Structure 1
Amino acid sequence: MVKGRDALNAIYSIFKGVIFLSAAIVTLFLKPAGVMPSQPTHGMAIRGDSGLVYILLAVILGYARVVAIVGKVPEILAGVSIAAALVPPKTVIGISLVMGWWDVFGGSLILILENVLGLLIGSLLGLYILNVSPRSYYERRAARLYTKRTMFVLALIVLLELMFPG
């Protein structure tokens, strides 16, 4: 059974990676040299935007990941696409944290959370469509519970996106 500590560890593992730390460290060195822009660039700003399109894209990427695993397609193809969904916002989080661009930081953080949740939903959807399920009763019961919780959180995020776009 997944406990709250496990969920926090999963969230922590998203941010402890080399990408986030590298971006922050490089920015720490470039900021005093005057190389960093005073305002976020367009590329950085769009990595701080979230929306339904990004959630839908993450769902499709999660589905593609399951299809790659089940269908014997090289997993690296799905891995690269998933990295493309997570690496740019993680990089912008490191940069914006050091630069003090709090609106971009918050937007990128939300985008990562939406992407992770979308990847999870897409994976669950892929498992459902491809009829891949746990074998034991208890594992099926736990899977149904996790699926319901995940769908609830995604529905809440989509609702918030509709109520407060951008």
Structure 2
Amino acid sequence: MSDESKFDFSEEEQEQQQLINKDKAVEEKKEAVRKDAHGLFASIKTFLSELLDFREDTDRDATIIAIKADIPFKGATAWILVCSIFVASIGLNANSTAVVIGAMLISPLMGPILGIGMSLAINDIDTLRKSLINLATMIILSLLTAFLFFWLFPLSEDTSELLGRTRPDIRDVLIAFFGGLALIIARTKKGTIASVIFGVAIATALMPPLCTAGYGLAKGNWAFFGGAMYLFTINTIFIALATFLVLRVLRFPMLKYANSAKRKFISRIATLTAIVVMIPAIWTFLTVLQESKYKREFDSFVKNNIENNSNLWYDRRDNDLDPDKKIINLHFNGDVSDEMVSSLQNDKDKYEDLMDFELIINANKTRSADRLTQSLDRAYTDLDRKDNVIDGLQKQITELEINITNL
């Protein structure tokens, strides 16, 4: 082989070696980036773990003792409940938010609800039974107290504070669940966070629904009673559910029984009860979520297609939307043509959740005639006013002509 061919071969080898070195350098850079990314992710994971982990501050024994201590309902606790119900009822009647908040702060209703969640989490059937009995007693006493107040008090009317507790929606579910989470996390922490407990008592609003239910009983308004008790049930279930979940995550020790057969039986009962509580909670969440979607689309339909239509005189009512019967009742203070009814039906069908609803138009032709009469009267009044203005101007012109002639 000649020297020239050897030289060419060495150049090819050098080029290949350079390519190999470049590939190695690229791989080394990629590996360095991967290591840096892994270290960054590990640092972020460590930071978030230290930031959000609350298990180290948990005092399991003190938490169980504190929750059990708040369950009994007798003596001073009963009188405190009666007083808080009276205060809340007065606040609802006077439409005073501040008074209602004060009543929620002194209410002892939260104890048995936490007891239910805790007893399910640790398989304590005796505590569960005591919690349910005390909660039922509190509910009956609260309803009776509110009923007597609104039955005997002469100044009772449907205030906005009362109306706000009769139509629960998805926000009430979320408030109850996350409020319950905050409450039980504060309870499990070493050293009770009183401000959190007071804040949750205000946010979840257990007292006002019971007072509103008592108002419904006193006035024979079953819609008020049913809506308020539904809201109270939502709050109770989701606070207990949040308590159950947190205590299971924190791995609170299960109650041990000497008899293994009894232990298994109690465990099955507690598990079954937890499932029974969770199924209504899920069903309630989905139902309220769907009703909220109906309400949102109905409000959008009314705003975009009715209130913005100058040819329609809409009379909004509380029962315009009936999600149970899938009916939309629209009331108009005036006549509505067949073409307009068809147009409203087509507009309604553009909303996916309202397509299955039946649209019922309630028109008032008498109101329509009244409205035309009022418009005619206003037109006559405007003409009379204009005539008076014209007469005044003509008088001024005549006086000016006389002055010019004299000049």
Query: More deviation in 69-78 or 125-134?
Result: 69-78
Q: Partner amino acid for 2:288?
A: E
- Does residue 95 of structure 1 match 2:215? yes
Structure 2 CA distance for partners of 1:113 and 1:10, relative to 1, 3 Å: farther
Decide which structure has the larger Cα Rg and report it. 2
Q: Does the CA-based 8 Å contact 1:97-1:105 persist in structure 2?
A: yes
- Which position in structure 2 is the counterpart of 1:157? 284
Structure 2 CA distance for partners of 1:148 and 1:64, relative to 1, 3 Å: same
- Which position in structure 1 is the counterpart of 2:242? 122
- Does residue 53 of structure 1 match 2:146? no
Q: CA deviation at 1:76?
A: 4.9
Q: Deviations along 1:73-120, whole A, 9 cap, x unmatched?
A: 436545545544210111111112101222111100100111110111
Structure 2 CA distance for partners of 1:143 and 1:73, relative to 1, 3 Å: farther
Q: Does the CA-based 8 Å contact 2:169-2:291 persist in structure 1?
A: no
Q: How many residues in Structure 1 have an aligned counterpart in Structure 2?
A: 158
Structure 2 CA distance for partners of 1:87 and 1:100, relative to 1, 3 Å: same
Q: CA deviation at 1:63?
A: 1.7
**1:1-166 to 2 correspondence within 5 Å?**
1=125, 9=133, 12-17=136-141, 19-31=142-154, 35-37=155-157, 40-74=158-192, 76-77=194-195, 79-81=197-199, 83-84=201-202, 85-136=205-256, 138=264, 142-165=269-292
| SS of the residue 1:96 aligns to | helix
Distance 2:195 2:151 in 1: 33
Structure 2 unaligned residues grouped into runs of 5+: 1-124, 257-262, 296-407
The two structures, once aligned, show a CA RMSD in angstroms of: 2.9
Q: Deviations along 1:121-164, whole A, 9 cap, x unmatched?
A: 11012112323241546465554433322221211212222344
Distance 2:191 2:208 in 1: 25
Q: Does the CA-based 8 Å contact 2:182-2:200 persist in structure 1?
A: no
Q: Partner amino acid for 1:105?
A: F
Structure 1 unaligned residues grouped into runs of 5+: none
- TM-score, scaled to structure 1: 0.76
Q: CA deviation at 1:12?
A: 2.7
Q: Relative CO higher for 1 or 2, CA cutoff 8 Å, sep ≥ 6?
A: 1
Distance 2:194 2:269 in 1: 29
Q: Partner amino acid for 1:96?
A: G
Distance 2:209 2:242 in 1: 19
- TM-score, scaled to structure 2: 0.34
- Which position in structure 1 is the counterpart of 2:52? none
Structure 2 CA distance for partners of 1:100 and 1:79, relative to 1, 3 Å: farther
Distance 1:155 1:10 in 2: 25
Q: Partner amino acid for 1:46?
A: G
Distance 1:75 1:112 in 2: 25
